[in-house]
Each structure stands twice: as structure tokens, then as C-alpha cells.
Amino acid sequence: MSVGEDLRPGRPSTSTNDDHVKRVCAVIRGNRCLTVREVAGEVVISIGSCHQIFTEKLQMCCIITEFMPCLLTDQKENHVEISQELLANTSGNENFLKNTITGDETWVYVYDVETKMLSSQWMGKGSPQPKKAGMSQSKIKVMLVVFFDWKGIVHHEFVPRGWMINTQLYQKVLARSRDAVCRKRFEMWENQAWMLHHDNGLLTHRSSSTVIWQNIRHLLCPIHRILQT
């Protein structure tokens, strides 16, 4: 007794021939979210034959999309690459962090709004809750540029109000920070092994007419190379 299919007379099935396989492949490449029923309707074949083409001929399967909190942009992928490089350098060199000076900018407001926790008071039992008029955040602010290492702040300065933070300004800031390293971190200055680590703010100050930013690789390099023009 045989459990296989016996040959039957009649025309062989043409639903899964090469022509239909090519048409199914073209349809699904145009829109990979189509269902088997929709693709079968486009190619005018049965749902079973269409499913057979997907699984046997094209070796494809339907995978559910994984929803992520957010997708990484090119800039965020660059951040991941930089972080991995920093971790590798840290594990391979115990003095890496000690030879790194970090630079960053932040807004400094004329005054900080008092929080509820800071305004809390010790009161007796049954005393009414103290009240105070709320304050809005200060509209007057100034940009602070700061460079620091594991020992503390190396250099900081405030950008004058109304000044544009561009390549020319930042070149002067880097020059003053270099002089501060020479004065405050003389040993690091002597061996020239220290590195400048900066955030992506430098990318926003890029200028095609200035070559100092073109020497930055992953925003981590010796500052004396950055200032070579």
C-alpha cells in the first residue's frame, strides 16, 4: 500500500509556475504589508496556491513588526558609536577618563523658580497650609560654555547677549580653553595626551570656510589639533 498521490489524468496545475511566482514577488515588493488574500486577488490565483508560493517558492514568512519607543536617527546612531568607542577606550586605558576634558553649553537663567519642596515649611498641627504667589521662569538667560575634567572646572565663560554662536566665536573659546589647560593642568599640557570630548553642538557651528571642525573625529581629539588652521 502506498500513501503517496497517484498520477491523475488532466492538465497540471499552473498556479505555482514561474510566471505566477514572479508576479507574486513583484506585488509583495511593492507593498510588504499585503495579506495572502490580497496578493492572490492581484495575481488571480487561489489563496492556497499563493500561500504555497510564499512559503515554498519564495521562502518567505510573515513577521510581526516590533514596536519601539523611538527609531534611531543617523545622529543617534552616531551617539551609540561614540559611546561604544568611549567604553572601549575606558576599558583599555585606565587613565583615559583622567586625560579627557569635556566641553558643553547650557542656558543660565537670571533666577531659578522655587519648587514646592524648597518652599515647604515646618508648621504646627492644625496650622493652615502656607501660600505663596507662583513665579514664572526667567525670560532673561545667557549661554554658559564650560570645560571640565575629573578634577573640576578647567575653563568657563559666558557668551555675551546678542552674540551669535558661530565658528569664529567657538574658535576663540577653544583657544582660551587651551590656554586654561596650560595654566591649570600643566602635566596634561606637557605630555599632550589629553583629549577634548564635546557634544554634538560643534556640528551646529560647522562652517565650510573654516577647517578647524574638519579635524574632529567623533568629537574626540586633542585640542591642539583642532586649533591647527
Per-residue pLDDT reduced to its tens digit, 21-44: 999 999 998 898 888 899 999 998
Which residue, 105, 107, 109, is CA-closest to 148? 105
| CB contact at 8 A, 193 and 104 | no
Model's pTM, two decimal places? 0.49
Q: What whole-number distance in Å separates Cα of residue 168 and Cα of residue 124?
A: 60
Q: What is the mean pLDDT of residues 124-149?
A: 78
Q: What is the mean pLDDT of residues 123-127?
A: 75
DSSP-based three-state secondary structure for 128: coil
Per-residue pLDDT reduced to its tens digit, 45-69: 999 899 999 888 888 888 887 777 7
Per-residue pLDDT reduced to its tens digit, 77-110: 777 887 788 788 778 788 888 888 888 888 888 7
Per-residue pLDDT reduced to its tens digit, 151-191: 999 999 998 887 877 778 888 888 888 889 889 988 888 88
